[in-house]
Amino acid sequence: MKCKFCDSETKVTDKRESHEGTRRRRECLKCKKRFTTYEKPEEKDIIVVKKDGRREHFLDEKLRLGLIKACQKRPVSMEEIDKIVEEIKEKLLKKGKEVKGSVIGEMVMNKLKKLDKVAYIRFASVYRDFKDVKDFKKEIRGL
């Protein structure tokens, strides 16, 4: 797993199993920052169906990283990002086993729209794969 601060390689310094899942302490090999990741068993039950029909497991770390990137240098705290991830995960678990990737993208964008407009545009530009400045203008007008 990559460091959530600088994207470098990390090592696991401690690993604990509990009925809630696996808890890992990680340390970045480059910036030496430490953080904890949780892997809950039920997370494996959410399957994301991508545009081309491929399926992959939903990973909340991946979603969190996307949010951190979108919120870089914005007044959004890690707590707020974690809250979005938790809320989306909860909703997905209620929805059932398979969810379209586009549904998750829209959920994230709805949350970001309320939280921070710049982060929202950043996320939307990656997610919607904006081709040129026209797409940006269209999205900004919609705010």
Question: Could you tell me where the beta strands, DSSP code E, fall in 19-110?
Answer: 21-28, 34-39, 47-49, 55-57, 98-100
- Total number of residues binding Zn ion (CB under 5 A)? 7
CA gap 87, 110 in Å, rounded: 12
Which of these ranges, 30-38, 53-61, 87-95, 109-117, lies near Zn ion under the rule CB under 5 A?
Answer: 30-38
28 binds Zn ion (CB under 5 A): yes
Quote the least distance from Cβ 5 to Zn ion, whole Å.
5
Phi and psi at 33, nearest 5°, equal -70, 150
Which of these ranges, 4-12, 15-23, 68-76, 134-142, lies near Zn ion under the rule CB under 5 A?
Answer: 4-12
CA gap 93, 100 in Å, rounded: 13
- Judged by DSSP in three states, 15 sits in strand
Quote the least distance from Cβ 35 to Zn ion, whole Å.
9
Residue among 33, 27, 32, 30 nearest 13 (CA): 27
140 binds Zn ion (CB under 5 A): no
Of 31 and 140, the one with the shorter C-beta distance to Zn ion is 31
Phi and psi at 22, nearest 5°, equal -105, 130
Which of these ranges, 29-37, 50-58, 84-92, 124-132, lies near Zn ion under the rule CB under 5 A?
Answer: 29-37
13 binds Zn ion (CB under 5 A): no
Binding stretches for Zn ion (CB under 5 A): 3, 5-6, 8, 28, 30-31
